[in-house]
Chains A and B, each alone.
Chain A
Amino acid sequence: MPKIGVFVCHCGSNIAGTVDVEKVAAAARTIPGVVVACDYRYMCSEAGQETITKAIREYGLDGVVVCSCSPRMHEATFRRAAEREGLNPYMVEIANIREQCSWIHKNREEATEKAIVLMRAAVAKVKRDTPLTAGRSGVTRRALVIGGGIAGLSTALDVANAGYEVDIVEKEPTIGGKMAQLDKTFPTLDCSACILTPKMVEAAQNENINLYTYSEVEKVSGYVGNFTVTIRKKARFVREDRCTGCGACMEKCPSRKAKNEFNCGLNTRSAIYIPFAQAIPNVAVIDAQHCLKLQTGKCGVCEKVCAAGAIDYTQQDELIQREYGAIVAATGFQPIRPYQFGEYGYGRYPDVITSLELERLMNAAGPTDGELRCPSDGRKPKNIVFIQCVGSRGQTCRDKSYCSKICCMYTAKHAMLIRDHWPDMDVHVFYIDVRTPGKNFDEFYRRAAEEYQVDYRKGQVGKIYEEDGHLMVQGSDLLEDRQVLMPADLVVLAVAVEPSPDARKLATMLTASMDNNDFFTEAHPKLRPVESPTAGIFLSGMCQGPKDIPETVSQAGAAAAKVIGLLSKKELTANPCTAHPEEVRCNGCGECEKVCPYGAISYEEKELRVMGRREKRRVAVVNTALCQGCGACTVACPSGVMDLQGFSNRQILAEVDAICR
């Protein structure tokens, strides 16, 4: 019988406060095969681990059970400890008596009883553990960054500067993301383009960085260190290698009615266009939907005026397959379109706009050349009302439940800039709370309120309506405890942010998990904030949750550090919990192959000894480098010969038995 040691952790009072740990250890001692059982204040501490290694040595243990926190916390710690003492690390099992016992139960007796059952199940499992050796695999020394906003660019530059190749896949025709659309940035008020464009240029010129703009990820396969990705490079109808970005085509293009996305649809652009002056690559793209030549076959003006001969109406989407060791999601965000908030009249009144639209209206390169004008008739606004938290922090289904985090600060920025440029304009801000934690943030907001005399009002706006051609804003002032009604020339909605709409599709491809709001989930909210739970997938920027530029850039750098750590490894140890068929009983039926999501199962003719006779048979073979250990095949197998190491049928049944005893 294997010799088992059971180690019960107090976790200070986290476990011992509710679970009688001594009783758990005593119960363990009564189980056949358990030769030592003890409890200790902190098993994960050096002294705690020492207790385990010493017992392995003294009792010659074949298996170890640690009753402690979740295996997701310290399984690796205890496995390493065992390995140091020469015990195979996969001969260690964890009974989760903290997260799944002491933390959720109040009754000491009940919790202790449950802890004993969980311990028994772990002992039953460990008795059937077999030593496993992790396979090793190489690492492709190249990273893929999906999304070319400030997050993606920062991560890519950091990884590239460490000497590794990086590809950036950006779905838009240019890199830059939302930051390219901003005018000035809080808290220093430096010009967004002035700090962003050098980064864009640096990325384009870095010899380790390869840009795939106007491209999307189509398919992802493989695993950490060895991903294979198919990228769809959408047809630009313009040859990137020839276009000089002179802009002659844009000037002459007769189709000029397309909404200019870069300016949030506040003006129009030609069908062939370069999104903005500093776009990278500085190459035109044809918007096929609005191009007369592509729609009707008649036109071809751009081809005629292009001196470089770059126009190619026959261009097709191109599929590119590349290998990567690590993948970074940096797909960013979008502000919501607040149509569902009928009371504000967005979409009905042209002078009700979002904050991002205001950024464009204040930007010197925007549709009004930086002169703040009302979109309805181009007049100079006198009264400007800001409404914060539109769609954020709500309880109803039309709202996001979270705080979008950046809006208080950018609204203060907008208010301050307006008062600074046009002191004759009056600025009112309706807020629920002003949230400005961050270095120099609260000072920034107070400057807006005090120095620039922005009229901050705590309260919500109930309704915006038109009266005699004027917008009227009706709201409450909670501090003065009264209703207010004020005329407005321009109303700016600080709307909630939400993840990029294609993020979910991407998450499915990457098998990376997301939260209820479609933000990517991190492997651990505190300790592993830039990794996805899926090995080899990292998170950078707003795709993980609302954040401003300083925070985005720090997170991007952290993600880069993790990527560099991975790419610098010579080899990776694979998960040894893979599927294995018992060959003599396999009849090669093919069921297991059908359910394998990784194509890890194939069939081979093998010569086997069956009941003393030699026989040639077709049997299933698992490629352990590809197998990820889900276990789908183990259940699909009609003869029950496919089993999963580390989670074998015998082990799971033993756990069931121990629990139902």
Chain B
Amino acid sequence: MPVKESFTPKIVAFCCNWCSYAGADLAGSSRLSYPADVKIIRVPCSCRVNPMFLLRAFQKGADGVILCGCHPGDCHYSTGNYYARRRMTLLFSMLSYLGIEKERTRVEWVSAAEGARFASVMNDFVGTVQKLGPCRRLEDVRCKE
């Protein structure tokens, strides 16, 4: 019987510069750990995240993508997170139509003061994706070695 290799998911986290990225920094300076599978991409605001970016991530082999922004009402640019939420709702329903489990995507609000929340959101998200296993449905295997 083949040894079942433990699965380390690839997780992309888009974090807005003002709240969530700072929240992640606070998680760091408070030494609150979450799995190393999470790689953060800094964007000015959650509304900068084009649904295309998430599709590309899945295409390149991501197993989960999470978008973090400021809490409703706290967006540095006033309304960016509302746009992000609306766009993602639409994208997620399309993804689920394509057979990507809805647990593989998430929108979360994390403020600059919520280091602990950032870590717990990531722990929870990675745990969920881990249970689902690898995501190969959208992966473009042509250019893989």
Contact = CB atoms under 8 A, between A and B. Distances in A.
Interface of A: 70-72, 96, 98-101, 103-107, 110-111, 113-114, 117-118, 121, 504, 507-508, 511, 513-516, 521, 533-534, 577, 595, 597, 628-632, 634-636, 644, 647, 649, 652-653, 655-657, 659-661
A72 B45 contact: no
Contact of A513 (B19, B43, B53): B19
B62 to A, nearest CB: 5
A28 to B, nearest CB: 17
Given A107-B36, A118-B39, A533 B44 contact: no
Contacts of B56: 653, 656-657
Contact of A103 (B29, B42, B47, B50): B29
9 contacts: A71-B42, A96-B42, A100-B24, A100-B25, A513-B76, A597-B79, A632-B80, A635-B51, A659-B39
Given A121-B39, A656-B60, 6 more contacts: A100-B24, A508-B78, A595-B47, A634-B48, A635-B83, A653-B52
A98 to B, nearest CB: 7
A504 B73 CA distance: 9
Interface string B15-34: 00011011011011101111
Interface of B: 10, 12, 18-19, 21-22, 24-25, 27-29, 31-34, 36, 39-45, 47-53, 56-57, 60-62, 70, 73-80, 83, 87, 111-114, 119
A111 to B, nearest CB: 6
Nearest to B75: A511
Contacts of B42: 71, 96
Contacts of B32: 104
B28 A659 contact: no
Given A98-B28, A659-B12, A104 B34 contact: yes
A493 to B, nearest CB: 28
A110 B83 contact: no
A514 B33 contact: no
A630 B34 contact: no
B82 to A, nearest CB: 10
Contacts of A96: 25, 40, 42
A656 B13 CA distance: 10
Contacts of B53: 652-653, 656
Contacts of B18: 513, 533
B56 to A, nearest CB: 5
Nearest to A125: B41
Contacts of B12: 656, 659-660
B78 A513 contact: no
- The winner among B29, B34, B79 for most chain A CB atoms within 10 A is B29
Q: What 4 pairs between A and B have smallest CB-CB spacing?
A: A99-B28, A631-B48, A660-B60, A630-B77
Given A100-B28, A511-B78, A631-B43, A72 B36 contact: no
A106 B80 contact: no
Nearest to B111: A513
B29 to A, nearest CB: 6
A634 B43 contact: no
A635 B49 contact: yes
Nearest to B80: A630
Contacts of A628: 77
Contact of B74 (A513, A636, A649, A656): A513
B28 A104 contact: yes
Contact of A660 (B19, B57, B78, B111): B57
Given A99-B28, A114-B39, A513 B48 contact: no
A630 B112 contact: no
Given A631-B47, A661-B60, A72 B39 contact: no
A659 B51 CA distance: 17
Contacts of B33: 104-106
Nearest to B11: A659
Contacts of B10: 659-660
A653 B41 CA distance: 10
Contact of A104 (B27, B49, B60, B61): B27
A656 B41 contact: yes
Nearest to B24: A100
A635 B70 contact: no
